[in-house]
Amino acid sequence: MTSPLAINCPIDDILGSLWAYGQRYGLPERPAQRQGLVATLCQLRARAMSVTVSTHQLELWIQQVLAQFESMAVMQTVVDAAQDRLAQRAYQWQTALEQQVRHTLNAYVQRYAPDLTVEMIQDVVVAAIPLLDYGTITKAEVHGLVDQLAETFDVQMPLRSTHNPVYIELAATLATVLRQNPLEEAVKQTVTAYVSAVIPRITRIGADLIANALSAILNNQVNFGIDVNVHLVDRQLLIQQVSFKLNTMEQSPIPSKSAEQMAAELHQAVADFLRDRDHSQDLSDPLAGLISEDGLSISSPWTSTRTQVSPETASSEPVAPDTSVTDVTELPPAQP
């Protein structure tokens, strides 16, 4: 994959696929849903081109495609076979994801949140998406899905009971995630404060930084008014949620005074650790440890439990769906 430098938008191909999508399935009328669809088409087209599109570039592509499409909406467009296939793949991918989230939401409402309101759907859906292990997804696609479910999921209608064990388990995990919200918010604030003060140019926040912030908060939880026995059930789930919301959703909560203080203490602790490490270890020793972009990884490739990803093989394209919706993910079809 090429690096995400300046890449011209293949606007004609994406426009053709968008037109084909409209002819086959109809286009969503709501802006958020239409932007989500265009984001999926852009991601799939970039993958076919073997290029990685940065978040900023993707937003520019979406704006270009939508602006051009509005000006040609009343005109007939010639669509080739490749553009039509891309439209079908986008439909399969979006439909499969929407079904998985909808059935997870259905099971969650039945068992844990019978009083869920439309206003609460956004937070629940955003929390559910990382649990599906669905590959790369963009902020625009998430917003489109949230908007779709907020529009179509009837929280007042009696729901059929869900017996599929996969969705029952996902609903239980989702309930755990949402119970950890107070601690999750404290971690997001602390990480945001740390990044702003120490590494403002970082492009991606690593799990190591999030884990260290969580540990610091747990050691000083009284400052945040958090009862760890209530709010920390699953450490890895919390780290996954914070990573998704800070990296993919680009949330930037305003840090509280406690979070700013914790970030300063975390910075000092990291600096002390790195100083001691440099003085006590031979840095030519391959077992000395890897330092990640956020400066907090201390594990070596021989001992680390984290997957080491080569920059040459890393990519941010969406997982391309197969010809059938059920092949997109390991989750089984919904069986209410």
Give residue-wise pLDDT tens across range 127-151.
999 999 777 899 999 999 999 999 9
Bridge partners, 2 (sequence order): 51
Indicate whether this model's pTM tops 0.85.
no
333: pLDDT strictly greater than 50: no
pLDDT at 293: 53
Q: Pick the closest to residue 84 from 111, 124, 44, 54 (CA basis).
A: 44
For 259-291, b where at least 16 C-beta lie within 10 A, e where not — what string? bbebbebbbeebeeeeeeeeeeeeeeeeeebee
Residue with tokens 């979070």: 259
Identity of the amino acid at 20: A
Whether the CB-CB separation of 212 and 235 falls below 8 Å is answered with no
Summarised one tens digit per residue, pLDDT across range 237-249 is 999 999 999 999 9
* pLDDT digit string, tens, across residues 26-58: 999 999 999 999 999 999 999 898 888 888 888
**34 phi and psi, to 5 degrees?**
-70, -40
List, for residues 60-108, the tens digit of each pLDDT value: 999 999 998 887 755 667 789 999 999 999 999 999 999 999 999 999 9
Distances in Å between the Cα of 123 and the Cα atoms of 105, 143, 249, 304 are: 11, 11, 12, 33
Band the pLDDT of 299: cuts 50, 70, 90: very low
Pairwise pLDDT comparison (121 vs 256), residue with the higher score: 121
Q: Which of 149-153, 211-215, 276-280 has the lowest mean pLDDT?
A: 276-280
Q: Are 100 and 132 in contact (CB under 8 A)?
A: yes
* Contact between 190 and 266 (Cβ < 8 Å): yes
Alpha helix stretches (DSSP H) within the chain: 11-25, 31-48, 55-72, 81-111, 118-128, 139-152, 165-179, 181-198, 207-219, 228-231, 235-243, 257-280
